[in-house]
Structure 1
């Protein structure tokens, strides 16, 4: 079993807490992932999480959904579905066979160990996206942040080449591991929404 299994489980628990805390009135908020607002990012996660789970289990992937349907997944019990799938992903990646050999997400084969790396980045980076967009901190243990930074160093260049990640954001060499992982994914660790910036300015003006 990979040394990433425990960081993934810890990151999954925090990610699930972030998802549970989301409110309906926050779905239109912008996120640090410039392509998505909160609803759009949740649609992305609801689409890909079951496919990552199938790949971790080396099971046939779910059939592809039309683009229009894939953009309407935040309906009904969407929060419970995403929380459940995140927990199942963490459990699947505790199994040694999830890291061995190859698997597929519906196109060509890829190393099975790649799925765990992708999942860790999804939990940490998109967990931070959702938490930051809605004005709450992401509690990311140092061991998780260090693991995410290491994985981003492994995947960052190829991800940027495929437009999965944006251009790396320059930050200080002694920045915390989480900030380095975020910067390598194309995110500005100091990002705040315009609503949050307005709130900070109002608080400063009263100080």
Structure 2
């Protein structure tokens, strides 16, 4: 077996979420108010809607770590509720990491579909990675994708995307794969598999 293929398995989901959190919080803190109406690579969302969605993810997946039930029926407008949403995001991602680091969080199944708990936690990791890339691109920020942290996170997410893709595409969660350039990085290939163009840039 390729030793690289088991590298991500050495880490708990809580650890991986902690790595993603360190990327995510600075990006969210640097989103300017004037960019909230801007387009993102995630075509269904502008910046404000995507931040609200990501806040919903980090709150609801805390419940799933504790084997509770999540509620994605509606998305509260946490951005519109007040200017402290950036710090709220930082605090809630801290709680997300703690929830998935708790003993037993990765054991058994979680959620209404009774999916393996580690896969459920990896879904949160996927959102905390690709949506933060979306927000970085939409607001002109750099997103590091070429270091050891990104490599480990992408290693975990490649399997997650492959497992989820048939259902996710059928339900519209993922768009059709986007072809990427020959020699594309593992991160760019991951983005392409979720229906994102790694070369996306805001319109002039």
TM range (shorter): 0.7 to 0.9
Cα distance per residue 1:6-37 (max 9 Å; x no partner): 33211111111111111111101100000000
Aligned partners of 2:175 and 2:195 also within 8 Å: yes
The residue number in structure 1 matching 2:193 is 184
For structure 2, list consecutive stretches of 5 or more residues without a partner in the other structure: 1-8
Aligned partners of 2:154 and 2:190 also within 8 Å: yes
TM-score of the two chains, using structure 2 as the length reference: 0.83
State whether structure 2 residue 157 is matched by structure 1 residue 148: yes
Within the candidate set 46, 61, 70, 2:55 is matched to 46
Q: How many angstroms does 1:2 deviate by?
A: 6.7
2:110 partner SS: strand
Q: Where in structure 2 are the equivalents of 1:27-46 lying within 5 Å?
A: 27-46=36-55
For structure 1, list consecutive stretches of 5 or more residues without a partner in the other structure: 196-207
CA distance in structure 2 between the aligned counterparts of 1:71 and 1:167, rounded to whole angstroms: 28
RMSD (Å), alpha carbons:
2.1
Within the candidate set 138, 143, 147, 1:138 is matched to 143
TM-score of the two chains, using structure 1 as the length reference: 0.82
Aligned partners of 1:13 and 1:87 also within 8 Å: no
Q: Where in structure 2 are the equivalents of 1:54-203 lying within 5 Å?
A: 54-61=63-70, 67=74, 70=75, 72-74=77-79, 75-76=81-82, 77-104=84-111, 107-140=112-145, 141-195=150-204
CA distance in structure 2 between the aligned counterparts of 1:96 and 1:2, rounded to whole angstroms: 16
Aligned partners of 2:57 and 2:124 also within 8 Å: no
Decide whether aligned partners of structure 1 residues 8 and 72 sit closer, same or farther in structure 2, where only a CA change above 3 A counts. Answer: closer
